[in-house]
Structure 1
């Protein structure tokens, strides 16, 4: 597993059905701390591997969460309801994530308005602030400072991360989309958390205790 040239030691992966059927016991035996699973996309798509992955992850020491791929053309309340219908009651330890990286021709101000609706709906339902996943150029052009109080998961496939000018920090950094680890036959995204294993608790969602 290639590691970035940083002081961070808390590593994780994110997966969807594209990674096939992972062997989570093998994966958990490696120096990994967390996993994010794709749950939903837009207002209709459900990742077919999500619940199987979730069921097996519960028998490992890995922390895990679920993300939604945001479609700017779709109604944001319907997207939030779609995501929540799939993840509520699952006792996911990590905060929810929204992946926003496409415009579908929608203007920046409309993207911002719709994204805020999704974030508000999910935060109200789950009781914890979601994290936003995006790349630096997209954040800079379409999001800006309005969302700086949300935790940021930066996608930047480089030796060192480069933040958008409007942000001064990141919590997760996706540094590679070509990871190879035992237990997954396909290439997988690799990530690091900016902090210690103990500090990873800052990304835990309070809903865990409520739902268990």
Structure 2
């Protein structure tokens, strides 16, 4: 394996965990490549993917997308899901498969699934691909059937990735999961890349499409009309037709990617930072308002909704940052999205805080009643433990993780992690649990 000095391009990879990103600051800091998490399985679309894509494009960065693979979901279905998102977008870097879970499958089975996914993505998009994984997973859970694909390897706190039996070189090296970059609050994975990460014959010159505002995009679905899309985004049919060079507003196609200028967006966040929420089937405006600690009336007002009982799956709602209640008492706030089966007491325990504290800062009147998809604020002052004056690195447990694998990634021991996290049974950790590393 090459050392880190073989890298030609400085890069980062980001998911919704990074929150709001100032791409102008990121670019000015010397970062050239940004990989954006697009999808996971066949059910998750990064709610910030379009926002990140627009920000990176407007700052002339080299862009790539990655898909987090779920072995229990059909590989071709996942490939279709990922490809449907990236189609119509301009990007310079290979489409990446993020494989780091086995879910009980053997190395041969997992590797065959990966090949199926990668070949289907190539067929559907006509673009080059790359495999992202970490060193121990490559050693234990994959086979050399994947050797024909370039490698983007994760191996932290070293200058040269460890050897594995499949690849002897990399096109991408993720050397830290807890770096800091201007323009991003909190930690961010850091990478270096070679020319091999770029799509063959790809144009690395990305035009600036910002035109003074931030641009997002919308992919047309079957049954959509331009007037309905305009209404969802608080703009006009004429404006959408103009910025997308549409001569006939009655003629749009499923899969067509429309630019939605930020200057079209209605409402005012009174100087605050806006976040967005994409409406899902079964949602009501009152439930969404409750999740975000605001009111139905406020959401209707800033989204120009005349009938609060009428919202659409796929509709993007602006949620003013000034709607969010609670205080971090001078600390930095993080958030947690409730999953099915979660209880407030379990979440409190994971983050080293109390049920009462979470209920208080999230305006929850009944601690026994939380909803899947609800976004909870977790005050940084809730975090337990002391790093004796140092900066703590944390890791959020994913499905299929073991404490021993996490320890190996960070060059520590299972015993040490169990000790500093008060884990009595090292074989029992939970997805979503936050593990302190130092």
* TM-score of the aligned structures, taking structure 2 as reference length: 0.44
Instruction: Give the corresponding residue for 1:82.
Output: 81
Please give the residue correspondences for 1:44-55 in structure 2 after superposition, counting only pairs within 5 Å. 44-55=43-54
Per the alignment, residue 389 of structure 2 pairs with: none
Q: Deviations over 1:145-166 (max 9, x none)?
A: 1111111000000232213133
Tell me, what secondary structure is at the counterpart of 1:143? Answer: coil
Q: Distance in 1 between matches of 2:202 and 2:5?
A: 32
Secondary structure of 2:141's partner?
helix
Match for residue 190 of structure 1? 190
- Unpaired runs of at least 5, structure 1: none
Judging changes above 3 Å, is the alpha-carbon distance between structure 1 residues 8 and 84 closer, same or farther for their aligned structure 2 residues?
closer
State how far apart, in whole Å, the 2-side matches of 1:207 and 1:112 are.
28
Residue in 1 that maps onto 2:163: 163
Q: Is the 8 A contact 2:108 2:143 kept in 1?
A: no
- The C-alpha deviation readout for 1:134-183, integer Å capped at 9, x for no partner, is 01221122222111111100000023221313311111000001111110
Do the aligned partners of 1:153 and 1:173 also contact (CA within 8 Å) in 2? yes
Query: Is the 1:15–1:38 Cα contact (8 Å) retained in structure 2?
Result: yes
What does residue 136 of structure 2 align with?
A: 137
Distance in 2 separating the partners of 1:8 and 1:106: 33
Measured after TM superposition, the shift of residue 205 of structure 1 is 5.4
Q: Give the CA RMSD over aligned residues.
A: 2.2
- The correspondence of residues 30-179 of structure 1 with structure 2, limited to 5 A, is 30-157=29-156, 158-179=158-179
Q: 1:98 to 1:5 in 2, by over 3 A?
A: closer
Q: Which residue of structure 2 aligns with residue 12 of structure 1?
A: 11
Question: Deviation digits for residues 83-141 of structure 1, max 9, x if unmatched?
Answer: 01111111222110000001111222221221111011001122233100001221122
SS of equivalent residue, structure 2 residue 92: coil
- Counterpart among 188, 199, 205 of residue 204 in structure 1: 199
Kept in 1: contact 2:146–2:166 (CA 8 A): no
Bigger-Rg structure (1/2)? 2
For residues 102 and 82 of structure 2, the distance between their equivalents in structure 1, rounded to whole angstroms, comes to: 20
In 2, the alpha carbon distance for the partners of 1:183 and 1:126 equals 31
Separation (CA, whole Å) in 2 of partners of 1:139 and 1:126: 26
Structure 2 distance, partners of 1:5, 1:84, is: 31
| Distance (Å, rounded) in 1 between the aligned partners of 2:13 and 2:42 | 21
Distance in structure 2 (CA, Å) of the matches to 1:185 and 1:65: 21
Decide whether aligned partners of structure 1 residues 75 and 208 sit closer, same or farther in structure 2, where only a CA change above 3 A counts: farther
Mapped to 2, the partners of 1:73 and 1:106 lie a distance apart of 9
CA distance in 2 between partners of 1:27 and 1:98 (Å): 24
For residue 105 of structure 2, give the secondary structure of its aligned residue in structure 1. coil
Q: Deviations over 1:15-66 (max 9, x none)?
A: 0000001000111111111010000000110011101110111111210110
Note the residue ranges of structure 2 that are not aligned, 5 or more in a row: 205-255, 257-438
Distance in 2 between residues matched to 1:107 and 1:41, nearest whole Å: 21
Aligned length: 203
Structure 2 distance, partners of 1:78, 1:89, is 19
Measured in 2, the distance between the counterparts of 1:74 and 1:175 equals 29
Q: Which structure is richer in relative contact order (CA contacts within 8 A, separation 6 or more)?
A: 1
Counterparts in 2 of 1:5 and 1:137: CA distance versus 1, 3 Å: closer
